[in-house]
């Protein structure tokens, strides 16, 4: 696990985004850990987050995409911050767009905000996490209804390494279903590796009891 991944794990902790306790995921699973990018609260945090996403996009996809798409709502600040970071850190001007929960019926109308994808453009989707792939499956039809686009790939903060609807990795299923590459800045196993037994800011974030709960959860829902 390289230094950048370690720093990202600690950055999520410092920002209050990586949480341990009792939570319910969008898919209805009871989980002992949760990643919520909606809890980033400052411009400094968003700027740093954008740099991590931009670096991952650059490393994994190079210049193989034309537009960033962020599913509402948490994907909205992700694409904005990443677009800025790509411009400032990688000298790339990449437009972005996101969807509305409901189509606008006045003004310019439509369900997309920002750049409107055009035929032939390659779309890179940015999300916070993907447990069962629900939000991606909801937004892909919208993108394809807008234009004849190619889905280049998906980047998320943390790959929870959990089973999708068909008992396989949600990432693997999405990649196969839509023919796109899926990458995470870190996986849950890398998070555990870095934090188990490690004292940060005066406390051990993942002690043996929490590690046991996480292991039990992954034994039921995990794919590794």
Rounded to 10°, the helix 170-178/134-146 angle is 20
Reply yes or no on whether 194 is catalytic. no
How many whole angstroms separate alpha carbon 30 and alpha carbon 47? 31
Measured in degrees and rounded to the nearest 5, phi and psi for residue 195 equal: -100, -20
Q: Which of 5, 74, 90, 104 is catalytic?
A: 104
Length of the chain equals 224
Q: Which of 90, 105, 106, 196 is catalytic?
A: 106
Task: Please confirm, yes or no, whether 104 is among the known catalytic residues.
Answer: yes
Q: Active-site residues: which are they? A: 104, 106
């Amino acid at each position: 696990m390289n230094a950048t991944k370690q720093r990202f794990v600690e950055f999520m902790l410092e920002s209050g985004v990586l949480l341990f306790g009792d939570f319910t995921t969008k898919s209805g699973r009871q989980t002992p850990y949760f990643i919520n990018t909606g809890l980033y609260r400052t411009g400094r945090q968003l700027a740093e987050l954008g740099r991590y996403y931009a670096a991952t996009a650059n490393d994994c996809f190079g210049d193989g995409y034309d537009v960033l798409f962020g599913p509402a709502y948490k994907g909205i600040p992700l694409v904005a911050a990443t677009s800025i970071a790509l411009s400032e850190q990688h000298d790339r001007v990449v437009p972005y767009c996101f969807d509305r929960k409901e189509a606008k019926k006045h003004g310019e109308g439509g369900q997309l905000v920002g750049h409107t994808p055009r035929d032939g453009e390659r779309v890179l989707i940015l999300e916070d996490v993907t447990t069962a792939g629900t939000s991606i499956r909801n937004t892909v039809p919208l993108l394809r209804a807008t234009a004849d686009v190619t889905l280049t790939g998906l980047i998320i903060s943390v790959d929870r390494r959990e089973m999708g609807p068909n008992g396989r990795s949600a990432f693997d299923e999405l990649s196969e279903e839509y023919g796109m590459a899926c990458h995470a800045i870190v996986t849950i196993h890398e998070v555990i590796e870095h934090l188990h037994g490690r004292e940060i800011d005066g406390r051990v974030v993942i002690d043996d009891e929490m590690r046991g709960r996480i292991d039990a959860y992954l034994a039921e829902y995990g794919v590794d």
